[in-house]
Structure 1
Amino acid sequence: MSKLEKVGVSDGSDPELGSDGSLYKEDDFSQVYTEEQLNQQVEELAQSYGINQKKLMWKIDLWVVPPFCLLYFLSFLDRVNISNAKLYGLAEDLNLTGNQYNIALTVFFVPYIVFEVLANYCIKFVKPHIWLSTLILLFGGISIGMGFVTTFGGLVACRFLIGITEASTFPSIFYLLSTYYSKAESQRRFSAFFSCTALAGAASGAIAFKINDLDGVHGISAWQWVFIIEGAITMGCAVILFLTIADFPEESRFLNEDERAFLKRKLEILSGSSSAFEIKNTFKDVGKCFKDILIWMPALAYFGLIIPSYGYAYFAATIIQQMGYTAVSANQHSVYPWLCAFGLINITAFVSDRYKRRLPFAIGTSLMAIVGLAMVLGATNAPRVRYAGCFLTASGLYTSMPLIVCWAALNNGSHLRKSVGTAWQIGFGNIGGIIATFIFLAKDSPVYKPGLSTCIAAVVFAMLSMFGYFWALYRINNAKQTDAYRQKFQELSDRDKINAGDRNPRFVYLY
């Protein structure tokens, strides 16, 4: 039987196996399995391979999640440290005027958005541990270079290059994570990784607070030391990440042959579709994905959340300083909302996985963010209330974002759809980062009414998009139970069936 006939899950005790240990069967979508039946099939599969599932999951968690956490911690650290450097005199030393600081923030997003889908396409041809560790080494070096720029043009050039090198990190990590975990296992792992953005935000403030003591050492200003020290740390960690970053499960270095085969078949059973790792996709295959509403709705939701999230990351320290703190104290106080966000991100993830629900938690945390933004906007004469609003804003936004990204990534069934879906969601969503850099203007200081009002509207838009995504999933789940849908799917070519991934009638969307 051809490998392209790999479409479903086993419904018998003697499944036909391919040469790579994968599961093959004739197309038969009339059989519907309960969650209990699917789990039983996985348990029988584990016994046949002699796999202890709990030990294997611990092994995967140890090898996969921590390196990605470190990778994105470094990535986000080098991305937002410019806000801390600004407090220490970057704008004054480079003679930035008007909106030049905002322009320097914006140019990062242009290549970051453009190269996301292409980067996820390339990662199938260059092993992830080589691809990602090389990019980390490069953007660490560029960050060091930012410490030595003397003009606005030099700053813009460095920000543009950082955008290119970081384009692959975020979507590629979500893409890789989605190939190791089932829908019910994923959120706490995704959020553990994503919570590193909160830790990076906290660390950026804490490092900047300590770096103030280096001001003038060797003739280098404190803002320059921010870039130099954090960039050097990133470059040093690149070597560690080269040795530890996990490749795709099918070619993973830390799994043995039986573990790779079991993991691949387990995820096929639980998802109801093949991973399609073996298929070499074309640009035409990529283009087909963009005709699907399920690729667009999560991207719109993420776009809505990105605007206030980057707005907060880039301007929170400045807002806190304008509450009456010195630059040094503002960097210190910017740490605590990030730490609060770190806790909420991980707690919510465990509860979300426990109840196997995404929408209620994404909506609830988005509402929290709206309340926080309203407090920062409305309490112009109450610094403590504004500061409390920073806690709610950071916690709500940075908890909601991994929920919507994980929700979409695990609802994409094949490698093709995971690759395109995660890259487009992150890439298109980051257009919001461009908006964020131009809604917090110096002339609107210290209230930033236009910026904060836009952020509140953006979160409302994100919530509406989440409801739209939920409704689309609900309708398709119901349609999959009809003979008309199954017949239409049967008419596809074998290759298209596999690339369709989650559109397989056996695949049940999570919401």
Structure 2
Amino acid sequence: MDKVASRTSTDPEKHVDSSSVGSDQPIVNSELERTVWRKLDIWVLPVVTIFYLLSFLDRTNIGNAKVAGLLKDLKMTNQQYSIALTVTYVPYILAELPSNLLLKIVGPNLMLPAMLTLWGVVTTCQGTVKTYGGLLACRFFLGLLEGGVFPGLVLYLSFFYPRLRLQTRIAAFFSAASISGAFGGIMAYGIINLNGKHGHSGWQWIFIIEGAITVLFGLVSFFLLPSSPDTARFFNAEEKAYVKATLKADGAVGDESSDSFSWGEVGKAFTSIHVLLVGVVFFFSGVVLYSLAYFTPSIVVSLGYTAARAQLMSVPPFAVAFVLTMITAYISDRYQCRGAVTVFASVLCTVGFAMFLGSKNHHVQYGSLFLSIPGTYLMAPAISTWNANNAAPHVRRATAIAIGFIMTNSGGILATWLLGSLSPAPRYTKATKILLIFSVLMGLFATLNIVYLQSENKKKAAKRTTTPRAEEAAGLGDKSAWFVYSL
């Protein structure tokens, strides 16, 4: 596979200012190289990780609440539960593109903490509802406020890290989703013991306590997030210059004119073949991801465990998912093999769902979760990074990232019905068959994208051979030849 050439990584249609070549070229400095990324990993990455952990926890803890008595207390049917989940995703999807386009204009240091704080308030309010209608209202506003979080965080990290370092960091914060699956199960196990305290049921305390934690961290995060390398207080002037030069040489950022807003760049994202191919993978992945995120406690209950025990038994597969996500992210960054990791993830999901479908042994079915859950959770950072790596300048990248997550959450809508009212427990036969087919299709479309990108990179290599060395040094000639797609 071709590795991404950091020195010549500019966008195929991006206008490269030849005067920038040289002055913006980072001087290789091993000491700075170690220092700047370590500082970002210490000051920015943990905050982003907690953001996503709280986002995923507050969106999916309704699965724990369901097992703890939500449906009984609000007199809800399985169909109404699926509707409540669907209501979350409609505003969620609508918010993703506008949110990503506004992120740089408003400032991520203001927009992201404000979203976090407000959805924490909504989550807390969810714990006080007395009617099904009240739950629907809360789920709507939760989706509206959370919609821009995942695409916004991916875009935000691309402001700080070059392409070759991005997946490990995206995997680090996305692993918070698998941590939230484990952490949420442990918390729910403890919290439901508060059942009846101060007039609230155990499922209400899940929302109240976890929402309050989100509000508190949201307020603190206003003082933690820098908007860009320029405003990072932990960098000195030399380190800021080094990061900016590295990002510009890598093609992760451009100059002010190329990174300014353009509807044309929005349109190019929607017509890029590789964005569309990965978008299909995002959709199938979203169906699988949210099916498992929302229904793992219910699946474990269907295997014969009590509601309280199911909260704990859902923890180990998510813990394995965390470890495997980080290992594959390191491999993907080291060898630049986003597509290969995606295919590997689809194989894990395929085998996992085949085991669940083909066996009636509850131990085998529970064991299948150790394949399907890690498979879908390690895929998300791989395709997210793949998508972000291959789109620039800023507006096109922001749009491409938003498209990916619009597709993911469109898949989430289908997921809310698959294991809800369309495929009843305990076997979930119809749902498992569909998830098995989608797992195979994820690998197929990922393979198609690899083949397409390899073909495009060969065309670019041919163009580079016809460019005089002087023009290459100046960044002139056919600029599309300088952008090597990440495979």
When normalised by structure 2's length, the TM-score is 0.90
Does the residue aligned with 2:392 lie in a helix, a strand or coil? coil
Q: Which runs of 5+ in 2 are unaligned?
A: 1-13, 468-474
Q: Distance in 2 between matches of 1:318 and 1:343?
A: 24
* Mapping for residues 224-263 of structure 1, pairs under 5 Å: 224-263=204-243
* Counterpart residue number, 2:181: 201
CA separation in 1, counterparts of 2:465 and 2:107? 37
Q: What is residue 42 of structure 2 aligned with on the other side?
A: 62
Letter in 2 for 1:468: L
**2:402 is the alignment partner of 1:426:** no
The question of 1:338 aligning with 2:314 is answered no
CA apart distance, 1:304? 1.0
Residue identity opposite 1:244 in structure 2: L
Per-residue CA shift, 1:101-132, capped at 9, x if unaligned? 00001111111111101000111111101101
In the aligned structure 1, how far is the partner of 2:43 from the partner of 2:231?
14
Match for residue 319 of structure 1 among 295, 299, 322: 299
Query: How far apart are the structure 1 equivalents of 2:311 and 2:182?
Result: 9
Aligned to 1:450: 430
1:45–1:266: 8 Å Cα contact kept in structure 2? Answer: no
Cα deviation, residue 149, structure 1: 1.1
Confirm whether residue 183 of structure 1 aligns to residue 163 of structure 2.
yes
Runs (5+) with no aligned partner, structure 1: 18-22, 24-40, 488-496
Q: What one-letter code is carried by the residue in structure 2 that aligns with 1:440?
A: L
1:162 matched to which residue of 2? 142
Aligned partner of 1:417 in structure 2 is 396
My pick for the range that moved more, 55-64 or 130-139, is 55-64
In the aligned structure 2, how far is the partner of 1:70 from the partner of 1:388? 29
Distance in 1 between residues matched to 2:389 and 2:259, nearest whole Å:
19
Structure 1 pair 450/180, CA: closer, same or farther in 2 (3 Å)?
same
- Residue by residue over 1:456-508, the C-alpha shift from the partner in whole angstroms, topping out at 9 and shown as x without a partner, is 11122221221122122112212223459999xxxxxxxxx99xxx9732111
Q: Tell me, in whole angstroms, the C-alpha distance in 2 between the residues paired with 1:503 and 1:458.
A: 38
Shift of 1:251: 4.2
1:439 corresponds to: 418
- Provide the rounded CA distance (Å) in 1 between the counterparts of 2:147 and 2:485: 28
Q: Distance in 2 between matches of 1:279 and 1:185?
A: 21
1:214 aligns to 2:194 (yes or no):
yes
How far did residue 45 of structure 1 move? 5.0
Partner in structure 1 of residue 4 of structure 2 = none
| Pairwise CA distance, 1:306 | 1.0
User: Which residue matches 2:447?
Assistant: 467
Q: Is the 2:328–2:378 Cα contact (8 Å) retained in structure 1? A: yes
State the distance in 2 between where 1:469 and 1:332 align: 39
- 1:376 partner SS: helix
The answer to whether residue 486 in structure 2 is matched with residue 510 in structure 1 is: yes
Once residues 36 and 356 of structure 2 are traced to their aligned partners in structure 1, the CA distance between those partners, rounded to angstroms, is: 46
Match of residue 33 from structure 1: none
Does 2:246 correspond to 1:270? no
Kept in 1: contact 2:282–2:405 (CA 8 A): yes
Give, in angstroms, the shift of residue 253 of structure 1. Answer: 4.2
Which piece of structure 1 moves more, 71-80 or 423-432? 423-432
Paired with 1:307 and 1:224, the residues of 2 have a C-alpha distance of 27
Equivalent positions of 1:286-325 (< 5 A) are 286-325=266-305
Residue aligned with 1:280, SS: coil
Q: Which among 89, 94, 107 is matched to residue 114 of structure 1? A: 94
SS of corresponding position for 2:223? helix
Q: Please give the secondary structure, in 2, of the residue aligned with 1:243.
A: coil
Distance 1:275 1:468 in 2: 33
Q: CA deviation at 1:152?
A: 1.4
Q: Distance in 2 between matches of 1:52 and 1:446?
A: 56
* 1:170-229 per-position Cα deviation (integer Å, ceiling 9, x unaligned): 001001112322232222111111100000111111111001210101111001000000
Alignment root-mean-square deviation, CA: 2.5
CA contact (8 A) 1:9 1:272 kept: no
Q: Which moved more, 1:193-202 or 1:247-256?
A: 247-256
CA distance in 2, matches of 1:181, 1:110: 31
| One-letter amino acid of the structure 2 residue matched with residue 161 of structure 1 | F
Structure 2 equivalent of residue 386 of structure 1? 365
Q: How many residues align?
A: 465
Cα shift at 1:346: 0.6
Q: TM-score, normalised by structure 1?
A: 0.86
Aligned to 1:152: 132
**Cα–Cα, structure 1 residues 401 and 277, in superposed 2: closer, same or farther, change >3 Å?**
farther
Q: Distance in 2 between matches of 1:335 and 1:9?
A: 54
SS of aligned partner of 1:447: coil
Deviates more, 1:268-277 or 1:475-484: 268-277
Given candidates 382, 385, 409, the residue that maps to 1:406 is: 385
Q: Percent identity?
A: 35
- C-alpha displacement at 1:407, in angstroms? 1.5
Secondary structure (helix, strand or coil) at the match of 2:226 reads coil
Q: Are the aligned partners of 2:16 and 2:479 in contact in 1 as well (CA < 8 Å)?
A: no
Q: Which residue of 2 aligns with 1:491?
A: none
Q: Give the aligned residue type for 2:333.
A: D
Matching of residues 476-487 of structure 1 within 5 Å: 476-483=456-463
Contact (CA 8 Å) 2:288, 2:415: kept in 1 or not?
A: yes
Structure 2 counterpart of 1:493 = none
Displacement of 1:249 in angstroms is 2.8
| Residues 279 and 407, structure 2, Cα contact 8 Å, conserved in 1 | yes
Q: Indicate whether 1:90 and 2:70 are aligned.
A: yes
Distance 1:295 1:249, change over 3 A: farther
Cα distance in 2 for partners of 1:414, 1:486 equals 25
Letter in 1 for 2:417: F
Further displaced range: 157-166 or 147-156: 147-156
SS in 2 for 1:412: coil
Q: Is the 8 A contact 1:132 1:169 kept in 2?
A: yes
CA distance in 2, matches of 1:9, 1:450: 60
Query: Structure 1's 503 and 88: CA in aligned 2 closer, same or farther, altered over 3 A?
Result: farther
Contact preservation (8 Å) 2:260, 2:394: no
**In 2, are the aligned partners of 1:137 and 1:235 still within 8 Å (CA)?**
yes
Deviation at 1:273, TM superposition (A): 7.3
Match for residue 367 of structure 1 among 339, 342, 347: 347
Does the aligned pair in 2 maintain the 1:145–1:228 contact within 8 Å? yes
- Between the aligned partners of 2:53 and 2:33, the Cα distance in structure 1 is 29
